[in-house]
A = this chain, B = another copy of it.
Amino acid sequence: MTDIAMIRAAAARAMGRVRQTPLLTSPFLDEIAGRRVFVKAECLQHTGSFKFRGAWSALTGMPETERAGGVIAFSSGNHAQGVALAAKILGVRSVIIMPRDAPEMKIANTRALGAEVVLYDRASEDRDALGDRLSNDQNLTLVKPFDEPLVIAGQGTTGLEIAAQAREDGIENAQVLVPCGGGGLTSGVALALEAEAPGMVVRPCEPAGFDDAIRSLRTGRIERNAAMTGSICDAIITPSPGNLTFPIMKHLCQPGIAVSDEECLHAMALAFSRLKIVIEPGGAVALAAALFHADSLPEGDIIAVASGGNVDAEMFIKALETNV
């Protein structure tokens, strides 16, 4: 089970490899939120999202004999790129299983990072069976996207940085808003801050209608999303929080915040004009919550994690055009 010692160990392994991302501010955002807002720009991480942290932690934390045989992951997006780059740097083989209808650009990017991409048909093929077969036949170690202690530890290094940066900036208590898919980032950050900055309150943020983590926190047990499609925040939509991540969130997190697609697009446009960073829709849910739902939070500073920036030009243009 992930604990603060595992997160610190992941941070030690990450030194010089994982980028320390800046905590950005703008007086214009403070004015919208009616309080100070700090944005942890994890979109500037290698491969454009925090997922590289978890992948690096998993690959450097597993036994060398396992790693040497190569790794395998299921992903159509950020986790794929994180695993591919980590494997490339470490000089080991990576196989990524992606749906045949994934965007051409994401497939190309994953291949360009050195991964062998295996495509499957969502309608006719069983992804898990394919993964098991490849993994067994070729001696590949599976790197899960969130429900894996080493991955949670890697994502938790984001929380260690937030704690250190908050200290430097004189922030003692804050609402820490985290985009939540399976809960790897949220639970890792919560564990890190529990140890390093106990004045911080961690809350998961999700797209409205796909708020499985928020509802799970409310009922105290794992709830599922009714659908997996229908939001522009597709990168952070999972069936439910994980069996490992949810107990951590249940223990450490306060109620979450759901935001609309329109609010995400607006937050993306404001991040463009005020912070000069590129955020993808799913990566913007926490900033959207900070800017447009601050009323529902106790007073004090807000730290919002901008978890990724892998958005195509078309969607980004839509964000700018609808919010000028």
Contact = CB atoms under 8 A, between A and B. Distances in A.
A112 interface: yes
Interface in A15-53: 16, 19-22, 24-25, 27-28, 31, 41, 43-44, 46, 48
A313 interface: yes
A272 interface: yes
A309 B19 contact: no
Most B CB contacts (10 A, CB to CB) among A85, A313, A320, A321 go to: A313
Interface stretch (A153-161, A222-230, A275-283): A275-283
A171 interface: no
Contacts of A320: 313, 316-317
A200 interface: no
Contact of A273 (B269, B273, B313): B313
A267 interface: no
Contacts of A317: 317, 320-321
Interface in A157-186: 168
A316 B24 CA distance: 21
Interface in A61-119: 85, 109, 112-113
Interface in A291-324: 309, 313-314, 316-317, 320-321, 324
Range class of the A interface residue count: 35 or more
Copies of chain A in the complex: 2
A272 B22 contact: no
A313 B309 contact: no
How would you classify the secondary structure of chain A's contact residues: helix, strand, loop or mixed?
helix
Contact of A313 (B44, B109, B313, B324): B324
A274 to B, nearest CB: 8
B276 A44 contact: yes
Contacts of A43: 276
A324 B276 CA distance: 20
A28 B321 contact: no
A27 B113 contact: yes
A313 B272 contact: yes
A66 B274 CA distance: 31
Contact of A278 (B20, B27, B278): B278
A314 B20 CA distance: 32
A23 to B, nearest CB: 9
Given A22-B22, A27-B113, A277-B277, A272 B44 contact: no
B321 A276 contact: no
A22 to B, nearest CB: 6
Nearest to A89: B27
Contacts of A316: 272, 320
A168 B17 CA distance: 11
8 contacts: A20-B22, A27-B85, A41-B44, A48-B276, A273-B313, A276-B278, A313-B320, A317-B317
4 tightest Cβ-Cβ pairs between the two chains A and B: A276-B309, A276-B278, A313-B320, A43-B276
Given A27-B113, A276-B277, 7 more contacts: A22-B22, A27-B85, A43-B276, A44-B275, A269-B313, A313-B321, A317-B321
